[in-house]
Structure 1
Amino acid sequence: MKIPSTMVAVPVLVACLTGCAAATAAPAEQTVRRFYLAVESGQGQRACSLLTPEAAESLSTGGQTCATAVLGLDLPGGRTQAAEVWGDEAQVRLTRDTVFLHRFPQGWLVRGAGCRPRGERPYRCEVEA
């Protein structure tokens, strides 16, 4: 029995698109993992180096440095559940957190972390730019 070429082409196309999307999201996921590893190991300066300049600046208030402030936040993290990329923006959903990123020429940086949904309203984030 001959299988029509469209029956083969559609699943192959879907597999490619799914694989391509996963490959596109991998660098953003790696940035999130590096960020949480730095926070969990008490490396505030390293964690801040993975934030957008605006996000890092937002933590440097009241005489406290970003490196000190980031370690005092409620950043629950968890395992990656899903990751999506839209051009230069990405969202990585973890088991206990959501992270937003922006792609710069040097790579992905975190612009929002410790984010929790609030229904129809925008996410509330511990770190935000």
Structure 2
Amino acid sequence: MPALPASPVRSRRWRLDRRSLLLALLLFDLLVLLATLGRHWGWIRSFGGDLLAVVWLYYLMGSALRAPAAWLASAAFGVGALLELGQYLAAQLHWQFSSPVLRIVLGSTADGFDLLAYALGALLAWWLERRR
């Protein structure tokens, strides 16, 4: 008996979008520069870094997943919000990260402005993609 073809929905969900991957790599480089060279830039590093991190995550997911822009933007915001919840819970439970890299990537204190940065980053990524 011949094998049945893959479901059209499943076979089209995964992809490699080179444009999104290139943008994700460029944004990652920018985030690394911001985290290292911009460590004394105050709110530009913290707010701008959080905003760019969500845009980076949007394009990283978009490089592998075929999904509507609004879904990808919502998912990227959701990841940021979950990280913020993790920061809040870690503070409440007095957990500390000994690794400086983890402290930079995961953050150390929960802040409402971080959620605003995540939301603006998601909106920016969605808007940029809608213009394309």
Greater C-alpha Rg: 1
Between structures 1 and 2, the one with greater strand share: 1
Between structures 1 and 2, the one with greater helix share: 2
Shared fold (TM-score greater than 0.5)?
A: no
Pairwise TM-score range, normalised by the shorter structure: 0.3 to 0.5
Which of 1 and 2 has higher RCO (CA within 8 Å, sep 6+)?
2
- TM-score, normalised to structure 1, is 0.34
